[in-house]
Amino acid sequence: MTNHNLYGALRAAFPADLDRTAIECVATDGPALFYTWRDLDRSSAMIANLLASLALPVGARVLAHTDKSVEALILYLAVLRAGLIYVPLNNAYQASELSYFIDNADPSVVVCASRDFGWLSKIAFRAGTAHVYTLDDDRRGSLLQRAAHHPDAQAPVPRTAADVASIIYTSGTTGRSKGAMLSHGNLLSNAQVLKTLWGWRSEAEGGDVLIHALPLFHVHGLFVASHGALLNGSKMLWFAKFDARAVTARLPDATVFMGVPTLYGRLLVDPSFNAQACRNMRLFISGSAPLLADTFCQFRERSGHTILERYGMSETVMLTSNPYAPTQERIAGTVGFALPGVDLRVTTAGGELIGAVEVRGPSVFQGYWRMPEKTAEDFTTDGWFKTGDVGQLDAQGRLTLSGRSKDLIISGGYNVYPAEVEGYLNELPGVEESAVIGVPHHDFGEAVVAVLVPSTGASVDVAACIAALKQRIASFKVPKHAMVVDQLPRNAMGKVQKALLREQYQRLFVQ
């Protein structure tokens, strides 16, 4: 039987000379670190062997709440090799958020930064997790210490294409986050399609070098970017955190860059970013949030490059892409054509052109972890996944997204669900109710804003509310601004009219 373990396919793409640099870790305050392909292979084997020594049940989850580091990527590769399920979490999440994820994912292993070990290990052990290791961004921690005692060779555990490789949590419109189960086959098929579509160059064609400056706990940085480079045996220039100046300084050494629109906006603000810096670049790709036409045009003028916008989500990995071929135009505001193998339809009501975007294809996930009823809700009876996005297809098949059927804010490429933030706000003393909205923001695209109604006779201290929220939820979800009003606008049915609020506050952060 064929082994569909994704690591096998990635490993097969490593260059013949394993002593070449696979990842150059760019440090702003010290010497750069270089990892060879052999380093990736040996160290992921050692961690995979450590995991195997724990004799975990098939399908056991390994949950990672770590800072970005090459070792965190190696941990992901090790989990694939070991045939376990990788559950990465945003390192900005706080204790109450982590409690939920640990309860829901029910992991056998948790890996976290040393600074979080005290509180996180308590949550994990209480929930029944047997093993908690630490991993810091400076190659310290118990995970690597333990792994050092294990052999540096390992054969990837046999997996079928449908076996789950990773669970990516995505917030729910109501209630808590859902874990999207992505299989080895989902991830590999998508990576293979993108390799061809985006013209990843072989060594004979000059090769490629990817700038990796995205977080490692989401589909964009973990799968689209990392798989792209690994599956092509291409070097990565690795940034622990995006910094426009530092990235611009290394652009001449790179050929491919992937970013959320905020990163493009920040590059444009940097005076050192220009066409000369981009002289060796082949491709700039944007996704995870809508790219403003203004950014698209300014970027073309400054750099001489036309950003390729694509569209995807945690449940499906990538779905559409603007064309790569220079003979076909990349159009601002559209997310392009369905990828080969992806079926895409827009379900419209009564003669409308705009409707619900629904998809089918080899990268569509295996369902929500332990939530069969949520999975059933999100698929049509004839098997199409309801993306929750609203859009329109033109005569050529280009998709333009025009909104969402879900109440969702995308801030700097992170999804924020107003209902979740409202839940936390409504628990604060003196707050009767709240409405959380997204308004245009010069840096994050959309910013989270809260409108608060005080309880009768109470007064609300906005600064205290914001400070309280910062203790409880990841800072990217905390409103950038909040105001107090006597009452929220409601329609005849009693529903809060968020569109009115968005209109009222749309100029808070932009002219």
What token pair was written down for 414?
A: 């992170």
DSSP 238: E
Our CB check for ligand MLC shows the closer of 51 and 342 to be 342
Radius of gyration (Cα) for the chain, nearest Å? 23
Residue 283 lies near ligand MLC (rule: CB under 6 A): no
Q: Which of 141, 336, 413, 438 forms a contact with ligand MLC (CB under 6 A)? A: 413
Residue 242 lies near ligand MLC (rule: CB under 6 A): yes
Q: Which of 218, 235, 360, 398 forms a contact with ligand MLC (CB under 6 A)? A: 218
Q: Which of 73, 260, 267, 431 forms a contact with ligand MLC (CB under 6 A)? A: 260
- State the minimum distance, in angstroms, from the CB of residue 81 to ligand MLC: 24
Q: Which stretch binds ligand MLC (CB under 6 A): 33-41, 46-54, 185-193, 211-219?
A: 211-219
How many CB atoms are closer than 10 A to CB 9? 20
Question: Cα angle at 152 between 84 and 50, to 5 degrees?
Answer: 40
Residue 256 lies near ligand MLC (rule: CB under 6 A): no
Q: Which stretch binds ligand MLC (CB under 6 A): 10-18, 25-33, 212-220, 330-338?
A: 212-220
- State the minimum distance, in angstroms, from the CB of residue 475 to ligand MLC: 3
Binding mask 414-443 for ligand MLC (x = CB under 6 A): x-----------------------------
Footprint (CB under 6 A) of ligand MLC, residues 310-369:
312-314
Which has the closest alpha carbon to 64: 82, 91, 43, 37? 91
Q: Which stretch binds ligand MLC (CB under 6 A): 70-78, 135-143, 292-300, 405-413?
A: 405-413
Binding mask 438-477 for ligand MLC (x = CB under 6 A): ------x------------------------------xx-
- State the minimum distance, in angstroms, from the CB of residue 242 to ligand MLC: 4
Q: Which of 88, 185, 215, 367 forms a contact with ligand MLC (CB under 6 A)? A: 215
DSSP string, 425-459: HHTSTTEEEEEEEEEEETTTEEEEEEEEEEPTT--
- Site size with ligand MLC, rule: CB under 6 A: 22
Our CB check for ligand MLC shows the closer of 125 and 476 to be 476
Our CB check for ligand MLC shows the closer of 185 and 265 to be 265
Residue 166 lies near ligand MLC (rule: CB under 6 A): no
- How would you classify the pairing of strands 308-313 and 317-321? antiparallel
Residue 141 lies near ligand MLC (rule: CB under 6 A): no
Q: How many CA atoms lie within 13 A of 86 on its CB side?
A: 29
* Cβ–Cβ under 8 Å, residues 213 and 239: yes
Q: Which stretch binds ligand MLC (CB under 6 A): 94-102, 338-346, 410-418, 428-436?
A: 410-418
Instruction: Kindly give, in sequence order, each residue whose CB lies less than 8 Å from that of residue 18, ignoring residues fewer than 6 positions away.
Output: 36, 37, 38, 41
Element (H, E) at 311: strand 308-313
Residue 170 lies near ligand MLC (rule: CB under 6 A): no
- State the minimum distance, in angstroms, from the CB of residue 217 to ligand MLC: 8
Q: Which stretch binds ligand MLC (CB under 6 A): 68-76, 128-136, 225-233, 309-317?
A: 309-317
Residue 214 lies near ligand MLC (rule: CB under 6 A): yes
Q: In what order do the strands lie in the sheet with 385-393?
A: 343-347, 355-360, 385-393, 399-404
Our CB check for ligand MLC shows the closer of 43 and 288 to be 288
Residue 267 lies near ligand MLC (rule: CB under 6 A): no
Give the integer Cα–Cα distance in Å for 317 and 321.
12
User: Is residue 459 packed enough to be buried (19+ CB in 10 Å), middle (13-18) or exposed (0-12)?
Assistant: exposed
CA 67 to chain centroid: 14
What token pair was written down for 387?
A: 């993306």
Which has the closest alpha carbon to 391: 328, 450, 348? 348
Q: Which stretch binds ligand MLC (CB under 6 A): 9-17, 114-122, 149-157, 408-416?
A: 408-416
Residue 411 lies near ligand MLC (rule: CB under 6 A): yes
Give the integer Cα–Cα distance in Å for 368 and 450.
30
Give the integer Cα–Cα distance in Å for 383 and 386.
9
What token pair was written down for 225?
A: 């970017």
Q: Which stretch binds ligand MLC (CB under 6 A): 228-236, 330-338, 412-420, 449-457?
A: 412-420
Residue 10 lies near ligand MLC (rule: CB under 6 A): no
Our CB check for ligand MLC shows the closer of 221 and 367 to be 221
Residue 287 lies near ligand MLC (rule: CB under 6 A): yes
DSSP 509: S
Task: For residue 298, give the 3-state DSSP assignment.
Answer: helix
Q: Which of 8, 185, 221, 438 forms a contact with ligand MLC (CB under 6 A)? A: 221
What token pair was written down for 88?
A: 């990465």
Our CB check for ligand MLC shows the closer of 320 and 375 to be 320
Residue 307 lies near ligand MLC (rule: CB under 6 A): no
What token pair was written down for 207?
A: 């090769």
Our CB check for ligand MLC shows the closer of 184 and 220 to be 220
Instruction: Kindly give, in sequence order, each residue whose CB lies less than 8 Å from that of residue 214, ignoring residues fewer than 6 positions away.
Output: 220, 221, 225, 242, 258, 259, 260, 263
Give the integer Cα–Cα distance in Å for 417 and 498.
13
Q: For binding to ligand MLC (CB under 6 A), which residues are involved? A: 214-215, 218-221, 241-242, 260, 262, 287-288, 312-314, 411-414, 444, 475-476
